[in-house]
Structure 1
Amino acid sequence: MNAPLPPALALFSLFPPAERFHVHARAFSAPLEAVAARVPTGGTVADVGCGHGLLTALLALGDSRRIVHGVDPDPRKIEWARQGPGRLPNVKVEVGTVESLAEQMPGHFDAVVVCDVLYLLPVERWPGFLRETRRLLRPGGRLLLKEAEGDRSWKHLKCLAQEVVMVKLLGRTKAGGALVLQPREAVESMLRQAGFTPRETVALGAGYSTPHILYVAEASAP
């Protein structure tokens, strides 16, 4: 089911200009609608690293039967998210991480979406992060992992330069000590080792200056 971008952006219309600009920039620089369109209808969905909650809003507005639970470690962003998509009846947002949510609600979700989170972590933490996302899912549940592909293209280099500015100079995003892009083969291998069966790998960089890539994987039976 396609998610409507204009109504989602309208939820942020009363934000201060700087925060509203950040949300709009996110909307037009990342293929969030393409991610939302691949989330199963209905059910419960975790948006890990939800930030201001734009993808959370797309998911909730795209299907009123869907319950969306967003978590982010940045209290400032969660406070904004509460004032935006957090007002929707099928949305809950809270300060948290994939680890805290997996401890609180193991095996609870039909789908988990993670968009542009892993690259902020040292690569040695990626396998553990993916294992925690697996803990969140029911058997057969779906993970939608959107990252930028480490393909050594000019888009790859531009993406890293841009994130250095946003993370390290402007402090708009919290990083865990690294800005890392990995090739698709490496990510697919990590998914398998974390208990997932990769189902689809989709390049979504066309029309963007970032090499967006989406991994759709299914939680294997224990």
Structure 2
Amino acid sequence: MTNADPQELAKFSELAHRWWDAESEFKPLHQINPLRLDWINALSPLAGQKVLDVGCGGGILTDSMARKGAIALGIDLATKPLRVAQLHAMEAGTENVSYQEIAVEALAEQRPGEFDTVTCMEMLEHVPDPASVVRALGTLVKPGGWVFLSTLNRNFKAFMLAIVGAEYLLKMLPAGTHEYARFIKPAELAQMCRDAGLELRSAKGLGYNPLTQRYSIGGDTDVNYMIACRRPL
């Protein structure tokens, strides 16, 4: 069975045509992308690397990593967002970027240890078995390579800010985008990474100021957070 929720795939497919509209439901992704891209590039300089973006959707991060000089592959199981990603790459003239509709576990069987850097952003909270995804990430990355993940913490603050605040009060995201029970505590994600043979190197929080409407990276991992790991040599 594929490690995917059909309702989740349908949810993002319905909005696929709006993926590259920076004022659409995907505005938060466009706003945080430069921050996460710079964080990834600082730890694992992307130029000349072979990189994989898992759960790439419409390709916002995938495209930007290619523009940093990486040979980038984005994978997803939602057909419509992938088509949008491919069309955007053609229209924007982005080089060295490609997309494939395949499960990460299947790709791990086909291409183990092939990628210098692997990213999986804003995806783990949308799949039935996040640990299976993390194991596949650990298989796909080369020894010495980096794996970057982001997701949402599971606590009252995250529920109030990420769901009540972002989806219902500020309407930054469509209502129903997230399901609280699928949020993952940092300690839980760290254990998944260790079980996948990865060493935790860095953890950062992603904060939002509703007054300035700006995002920032810091040490507060209470709500949105990112983890960087390496596969030992």
Shorter-chain TM-score range:
0.7 to 0.9
The RMSD of aligned alpha carbons is: 2.7
Given that 1:151 and 1:182 are in contact with CA atoms closer than 8 Å, whether structure 2 keeps it comes out as: no
SS of residue matched to 1:150: coil
Mapped partners of 1:111, 1:92: distance in 2? 15
TM-score, normalising length from structure 1? Answer: 0.76
The residue that corresponds to 2:175 in the other structure is 165
Q: What's the CA shift for 1:91?
A: 0.3
1:117 and 2:123 correspond: yes
The residue that corresponds to 1:24 in the other structure is 27
Q: Work out the number of aligned pairs and report it.
A: 192
Q: Percent identity?
A: 23
The residue that corresponds to 1:67 in the other structure is 71
Structure 1: gaps (5+ residues): 1-14, 169-176
CA separation of 1:180 and 1:164: change in aligned 2, threshold 3 A = farther
Structure 2 counterpart of 1:150, which letter?
R
Find 1:184's aligned residue among 180, 186, 200. Answer: 186
1:79 and 2:83 correspond: yes
TM-score, normalising length from structure 2? Answer: 0.73
Mapped partners of 2:159, 2:180: distance in 1? 15
Structure 2: gaps (5+ residues): 1-15, 168-172, 210-214, 217-221
SS of residue matched to 1:84: helix
Cα deviation digits, residues 153-172 of structure 1 (max 9, x gap): 1x43342453782448xxxx
Cα deviation digits, residues 102-144 of structure 1 (max 9, x gap): 122211100111111111123xx22221110111110111011
Moved over 6 A (4+): none
Structure 1 counterpart of 2:229, which letter?
A
Given that 1:56 and 1:85 are in contact with CA atoms closer than 8 Å, whether structure 2 keeps it comes out as: no
Mapped partners of 1:140, 1:53: distance in 2? 25
CA separation of 1:83 and 1:117: change in aligned 2, threshold 3 A = same
Cα deviation digits, residues 171-206 of structure 1 (max 9, x gap): xxxxxx985112211211221111110000111224
Cα deviation digits, residues 8-31 of structure 1 (max 9, x gap): xxxxxxx96686224434213xx2
The residue that corresponds to 1:57 in the other structure is 63
Find 1:198's aligned residue among 188, 197, 200. Answer: 200
Given that 1:141 and 1:219 are in contact with CA atoms closer than 8 Å, whether structure 2 keeps it comes out as: yes
Given that 2:57 and 2:85 are in contact with CA atoms closer than 8 Å, whether structure 1 keeps it comes out as: yes
